[in-house]
Structure 1
Amino acid sequence: MVTTPQWIMIGGDGPESYYQHSSNQRALLEAAKEKMNEAISAKLSLNLISDRFSVADFGCASGPNTFLAVQNIIDAVEDKYRKETGQNPLENIEFQVLFNDSTTNDFNTLFQTLPPGRRYYSAGVPGSFFGRVLPKHSFHVGVISYAFHFTSKTPKGITDRDSPLWNRDMHCTGFNEAVKRAYLNQYSADTKNLLDARAEELVPGGLMLLLGSGLRDGVKMSETVKGMVMDFMGASLSDLAQQGVVEQDKVDSFSTPLYFAEEGELRQIIKENGKFTIEAFEDIIHPYGEFPLDPKILAVSFRASCGAFLSAHFGAYAMRKAFELVEVKAREEFSKIQNAKPGMQYLIVLRKI
């Protein structure tokens, strides 16, 4: 069995929560809606649309973006059915939505905030998406939104001071080739497991929609805004170690189970897996860019998505102090942020062979 990373978003709907600070991820879903509609219209066989249609979101978090993702899919399926049959989908199709995330996810907030006017039945599916979580042929369209950059664990040796692969940075910056290769190997193995599992659970001819953030070919993580903020996080933890707030050994052995793959790497991994065809690989652009270039918003957004993981290692007080320093460093290095190389936001449409 693979190991699920203890990575969850800050739960609830309070001022620090992912629920309140996930507008960047929502903007990607909104910008990708038309492309999602086109993909379902062109690539989903009408024969798969019967009286029961199942949608699954893997890595759903605590909302609210998962609701937008699954509603986009349902709207597109209904539109296709209406246009191609002339019938009313509300009378002929019942939709089921399966919300999956790790066992530590805040499912309470998720289900307490389900849209009141939803046109689907819902169920929670706890468990690691790196392995099977559903019976065979359980769903027709699946989505993974802003969760396709996780690994099941940090690569072996990355957090070991005595290893030649020891990484002083808290993430894969892209500048150390050996470290990058170790992360890519781990990511490739985990993504193979993920795709193998989805291929078992998806009906033949069904679709997987992958939305997320990656890198353009040849661009290093630390040359992008998201990489720079991760660097600020690492530097802030080192500052706290010097102040005696956290232990230096803990900082030195801390690394994140994340790998933001380049486009070419993603294509190669999917091709080598052999369970899906790539039906579309879209570069999604929206007015705000990948991140709003505002130091406070950057610090708050990354705290919502990374804060719980940092708290688990260093405690809530240290986490909050670290992100206060992240905002300071982002202000000090703002010209560098403004000149960062662009990242990549994508919609990948896969069809099960």
Structure 2
Amino acid sequence: MAGAVQSVVSLSKALPMNGGNGLYSYANNSTYQNKAIVAVKDLITEAIAEKLDTSLSSSNTICITEMGCSVGPNTFVAVQNIVEAVLNKYQNLVHDHSRLPEFLVFLNDHALNDFNTLFTSLPPDRNYYVAGVPGSFHGRLFPADSLHIVHTSYALQWLSQVPEEVEDVSSPAWNKGRVYYSSAGDQTVKAYEDQFAKDLDCFLHARAQEVVCGGLIMILVPGRLDTTPHDRVFSNISYDILGSCLMDMAKMGITSQEKVDSFNIPIYFSSPREVEATIEKNGYFSLERLECLPLEKSQDTIQQKARAVSYHIRAGLEFLLKEHFGNEIIMDELFDSFNKNLEKSQVFELGLTYSLFALLKRKTTLID
């Protein structure tokens, strides 16, 4: 399995969110992710209260990593929720509060991530120490048995790469005329599904070497119900609309049809059944809890919703779009068109939005 992990790491593509604090930055366009983090706060508190073994750390230091941290501010909310939950557990057990643990938090993302913005926006009153760890979470990042809690929020839906067969013109999974899988043929959908399972397995295999036995992994990822078709997921509908805008630009000669045909968004929205199957097959973690939570719908106007979605997706995909299309496509024109098409669509009526929360505990199984 180690060779398989290494191959995924070598292929893992760095796709940073827009850095800085500008109009289209991730920092200013990630309220959707923030709502998800707030929605699972109680689940995280319960998980730590019920499942965290206080004897895991012999040095009185709890090591936590936040994987796929991007540039904030959501990562700081998630970390604070975890730290407070651990402190509450210890305070209920330890009468001498001078023996409460200290916290070392590792913030991880690809090396191209805007770590400058991340660190300049650190909460000044934080009650934990911080270090940055650049690199792909699809492979090893930490020494063996060094982590007590791993948290990742809205990051594992990003694939390490577009499935190879999706970009192969001789494959039945070739995604001609689309930039995403959700309305494509069964072979294309299966290629995305298999890539997600492979990536999640590599993530878990790497963490199994780094997390102490009894340590916890908390995964929050956008997903869907087992019964929800891919083309009814809100974000999937939105990506298909973006794809139609790119196709329109190809018809107008702004870019080529071949350029659009070779562009695919490396994101997959999994179901609880798929996540559970991969965890079980991996074998290094017990699945302690798995929840599929609907996100509260916005009460904004259609125009406000469309603008928020357009900015949100631009913050996440602009790097990828620029890398593929270069100067052929002007981002303002593409996303103006996208915004107008969102307003005319039924995405806000038909699209379904869920978050998957999974709590895993490291078994005593030896690493292969």
Q: Shorter-normalised TM-score: what interval? A: over 0.9
Q: Is the 8 Å Cα contact of residues 245 and 318 (structure 1) preserved in structure 2?
A: no
Which of 339, 343, 364 in structure 2 is aligned with 1:327?
A: 339
CA shift for structure 1 position 68? 0.8
Runs of 4 or more consecutive aligned structure 1 residues displaced over 4 Å after TM superposition? none
Query: Which consecutive residues of structure 2, in runs of 5 or more, have no partner in the other structure?
Result: 1-6, 364-368
State how far apart, in whole Å, the 1-side matches of 2:27 and 2:225 are. 29
Deviations along 1:310-329, whole A, 9 cap, x unmatched? 12112365333221111111
For 2:31, give the aligned amino acid: S
Q: Is the 8 Å Cα contact of residues 175 and 184 (structure 2) preserved in structure 1?
A: no
Residue 348 of structure 2 is matched in structure 1 by 338
Asked if residue 178 in structure 1 is aligned to residue 187 in structure 2, the reply is yes
Q: Is the 8 Å Cα contact of residues 5 and 257 (structure 1) preserved in structure 2?
A: no
Residues paired across the two proteins, number: 350
Asked if residue 234 in structure 1 is aligned to residue 243 in structure 2, the reply is yes
Residue 169 of structure 2 is matched in structure 1 by 161
Residue 226 of structure 2 is matched in structure 1 by 217
State how far apart, in whole Å, the 2-side matches of 1:57 and 1:288 are. 27
Asked if residue 274 in structure 1 is aligned to residue 283 in structure 2, the reply is yes
Q: Is the 8 Å Cα contact of residues 98 and 125 (structure 1) preserved in structure 2?
A: yes
Q: Is the 8 Å Cα contact of residues 19 and 27 (structure 2) preserved in structure 1?
A: yes
Residue 95 of structure 1 aligns to a residue in which SS?
strand
State how far apart, in whole Å, the 1-side matches of 2:227 and 2:117 are. 40
Which of 281, 287, 304 in structure 1 is aligned with 2:315?
A: 304
CA shift for structure 1 position 304? 1.0
Q: Is the 8 Å Cα contact of residues 219 and 341 (structure 1) preserved in structure 2?
A: no
Which of 313, 318, 321 in structure 1 is aligned with 2:330?
A: 318
Q: Is the 8 Å Cα contact of residues 156 and 221 (structure 2) preserved in structure 1?
A: yes
Residue 134 of structure 1 is matched in structure 2 by 142
Deviations along 1:69-106, whole A, 9 cap, x unmatched? 111110000000001223326x6322101011111111
Q: How does 1:74-89 map to 2 (within 5 A)?
A: 74-88=83-97
Residue 213 of structure 1 aligns to a residue in which SS?
strand
CA RMSD of aligned residues (A): 1.9
Deviations along 1:52-82, whole A, 9 cap, x unmatched? 1111011111111111111111000000000
TM-score, with length taken from structure 2? 0.90
Which of 6, 9, 18 in structure 1 is aligned with 2:26?
A: 18
Which of 269, 272, 281 in structure 2 is aligned with 1:260?
A: 269
State how far apart, in whole Å, the 2-side matches of 1:352 and 1:94 are. 22
CA shift for structure 1 position 220? 2.3
Residue 203 of structure 1 aligns to a residue in which SS?
strand
For 1:302, give the aligned amino acid: I
The 1:255–1:46 alpha-carbon spacing in structure 2 relative to 1, beyond 3 Å, is same
Query: Which consecutive residues of structure 1, in runs of 5 or more, have no partner in the other structure?
Result: none
State how far apart, in whole Å, the 1-side matches of 2:81 and 2:285 are. 22
